[in-house]
Amino acid sequence: MPATIRDVAAEAGVSVATVSRVASGGDYPIGAETKAKVLAAIERLNYRPNGMAKGLTQRNSRLVGVVAPDMSNPYYPEITRGIEDVATARGYQVLSCSTDRDPGRARSSIDALLAKRVAALAVIGGGDEVVLPDGDLEAYGTEVVMIGRATRRFSTVRVENAEAGQEVGRHLLALGHRSIGFVAGHRGSSASDERLRGLRRALKDAGVEHRSDQVANGDYTEAGGYDATRRLMHASAPPSAIFAASDRMAIGALAALRDMQLRVPDDVALVGFDDIPMAEYLRPALTTVSVSAHRLGTEAMGLLLDGTGRPRRPQHLRVRTRMVIRESCGARRT
């Protein structure tokens, strides 16, 4: 495969930003020895600068990149739509990529967006598959905002996950449940971990123990929620209520409970998270935590546009949630 800018940086023992500056032929001050090492590495590896190198002096400030983990999940397109609504109104065009939670694909997506010389980059999701390199971002002056992931390095827009999890826990406790199963997202998801932490805080405050076998990973998919629910219900002490960290997993949980001849909410109460459009039309209608995914996108785009082209300190916004009581938890009947 052709040599990349990172290959040259490794060969010369310098940063990606330094290689970009040398390759661009600009007037950025670089020592003669360093420049010679970079040029020698370029020649040895037969490196041919592409649009990324040109971006140093020709950055297209009207493009915004969006990287999301799974565009088949209706939650992420809604965030992207919020980004697009603000971007379009301000004369920007949005380019979006889906990583499928794969680190290699995420790296390729970032490379492709930087090659397009995006002025700003929005990374959606609480997973750790996206790693942003210092050199590339520094070289292009690209603004970054993380949506759903905690970091001090970049601006962030996040949901109050722990507070929402605690509210769900208190709600189920008030309905008389003491054994509550949790269907988690994929391993390493900060959002899922925070929701579980909030649930456990509510249970601890009530003097209720939450065991490790009351948690099963569902990978944020319907199939994952289905399998996780069956594992929870086959435990030695099956839960009387299940809190799924996403509505997609709650849909899978609902199907699993029906296949096991269990009624919702009569035998098992069920609560989801996100309030996707389908949640209201399930039967029973799904009790869930409502998150304005569209607002997450508009807030994130606001941070990007306010900061593009000007150095500033990272800003951190939190978006509140709202619990929507429907039929699946049994509260309306009670």
pLDDT, tens only, 15-45: 877 887 787 666 567 888 888 888 888 888 8
Same domain, 29 and 76: no
What is the CB neighbour count within 10 angstroms for residue 278?
12
3-state secondary structure of 172: helix
pLDDT computed for residue 154 by the predictor: 87
Same domain, 84 and 138: yes
| Number of domains comprising the chain | 3
Residue 5 in this model has a pLDDT that exceeds 70: yes
Q: In terms of pLDDT, which residue wins out, 172 or 56? A: 172
Kindly indicate the confidence band of residue 157, based on its pLDDT and cuts at 50, 70 and 90: very high
Find the length of the chain: 334
Residue 266 in this model has a pLDDT that exceeds 60: yes
User: The domain that contains 313 carries what CATH number?
Assistant: 3.40.50.2300
Same domain, 188 and 92: no
Is 327 inside a domain boundary? no
Work out the average pLDDT over 70-86: 91
Whole-angstrom Cα distance, residue 177 to residue 213?
17
Is 331 inside a domain boundary? no
pTM exceeding the 0.75 threshold for the entire prediction: yes
Residue with tokens 């996108």: 297
3-state secondary structure of 92: coil
Residue 93, Cα to own-chain centre: how many angstroms? 21
User: The domain that contains 36 carries what CATH number?
Assistant: 1.10.260.40
Residue 261 in this model has a pLDDT that exceeds 80: yes
Is 328 inside a domain boundary? no
pLDDT, tens only, 162-195: 999 999 999 999 999 999 999 999 888 889 999 9
Work out the average pLDDT over 196-215: 96
pLDDT, tens only, 227-260: 999 999 999 899 999 999 999 999 999 999 999 9
